[in-house]
Amino acid sequence: MWFTMMFKLSGPGILYTYEGQQEIDGTTYDKVIATYDPTVTGKEVNDIYILHINPETRMIDSFYFSLPAFDVELPALHAKLTYTEIDGIQVITRRMMSAPSPDGKGMVPLVEQLTKNVKFNNGFTTEMLNKEI
């Protein structure tokens, strides 16, 4: 999911709200809230993302997110992203995930996720997803 997330943000049923600008660590980001239209997803509660869009690169440098499947209905979890260009495509290759500290005064690291050895045009097809193993 995380690998394809940025591409999914342009899919059908995405709802966006521009929330102005927010300064984080000396950079003024465009702040956009994204969620899904429940009439498209059929879900009672959809994920919510607060995206921080870098004004120079136009890439999402970080975002807060909810996780309703795990009873986190407000965007309290955080992801800081690092991109690598692969075959001319910017791909997220590092995600630093954090959550609110128990005292509510900051964030604590949860996990670092790395994506390595990404290859495009490798012969994989969507028909392979439906094959019985």
CATH number, position 90: 2.50.20.10
pLDDT at 131 over 70: no
> Higher-confidence residue: 61 or 122?
61
> Higher-confidence residue: 130 or 99?
99
> Higher-confidence residue: 7 or 25?
25
pLDDT in tens, 108-122: 989 999 988 888 888
Q: What is the pLDDT of residue 119?
A: 83
73-79 contact pairs (CB < 8 A, 24+) = 73/45, 74/48, 75/48, 75/49, 75/50, 76/100, 77/110, 78/107
- The rounded distance, in Å, linking the Cα atoms of 95 and 87 is 20
- The rounded distance, in Å, linking the Cα atoms of 51 and 29 is 9
Q: Say if CB 52 and CB 33 are below 8 A apart.
A: no
The whole-model pTM stands at 0.83
Per the structure, the complete domain to which residue 11 belongs is given by: 5-130
Total tally of structural domains belonging to the chain? 1
